[in-house]
Amino acid sequence: MIVLRPPLNEAQVRRLRVGQEVAVNGVVYTARDMAHKRLCEALDRGEEPPIPLEGAIIYFVGPTPARPGAVIGAAGPTTSARMDPFSPKLIAHGLRAMIGKGYRNEEVRKALQQYGAVHLATLGGAGALLSRHIARAEVVAYEDLGTEAIRRLEVVDFPAVVAYDAAGGSVYDLKNGVSGV
């Protein structure tokens, strides 16, 4: 198990390979479709985004409301492909890792290779279990988006697998333990 502590640097990320299990400890930001759109619009206007992108990890999640006494509600990943139109721009601005579920398009895969970033996958349908790895959560941007607002999470041993690496590998291309890439 490889432990990742954001902010990540390019050298760390380029050493990761598809299929490796990781545990993330530290600060992760949440963002889904609308938040991604707003982040990219801010960058297009030449504005600083409301979160630091350099070395960051973004988790594609819109958590459910927390029950009394809980830090956060269920926090399972959403479909990663919905962020494909925005991810290359964020990667070019220093984003080093994303966490979600499912496939990424060719443009995202090329950006991962060019800039030294990875896509991590975690378990869909396990939001209640994953929320146990979140020690703190606070809304830091776009509060009007409700559950899709950007949150700053402090995570402990958050489990994921390297699904796409910076060398062009894809865990979805693995057949009999050998990469088809």
- Does residue 36 carry a catalytic annotation? yes
Catalytic residue chosen out of the listed positions 36, 93, 119, 133: 36
Give the model confidence (pLDDT) of 29-76 as tens digits. 999 999 999 999 999 999 999 999 999 999 999 999 999 999 999 999
Residue 180, pLDDT > 90, answer no
Give per-residue pLDDT as tens, 88-143.
999 999 999 999 999 999 999 999 999 999 999 998 888 999 999 999 999 999 99
Q: Could you list the residue range(s) of the whole structural domain that residue 152 is in?
A: 2-166
State the CATH number of the domain containing residue 95: 3.20.130.10
Query: Per the domain annotation, does 33 fall within a domain?
Result: yes
Asked if the structure places residue 175 within a domain, the reply is no
Q: What is the β-pairing status of strands 118-121 and 134-141? A: unpaired
What are the angstrom distances between the C-alpha of 17 and each of 55, 113, 120, 164, 179?
18, 12, 11, 8, 11
User: Is the pLDDT assigned to residue 175 strictly greater than 70?
Assistant: no
Q: Which two tokens stand for residue 19?
A: 């299929």
- pLDDT at site 149: 97
Is residue 172 domain-resident? no
Could you give the CA distance from residue 55 to residue 160 in angstroms, rounded to a whole number? 17
* Number of domains composing the chain: 1
DSSP one-letter code for 124: T
Q: pLDDT-derived band of residue 6, with 50, 70 and 90 as boundaries? A: very high
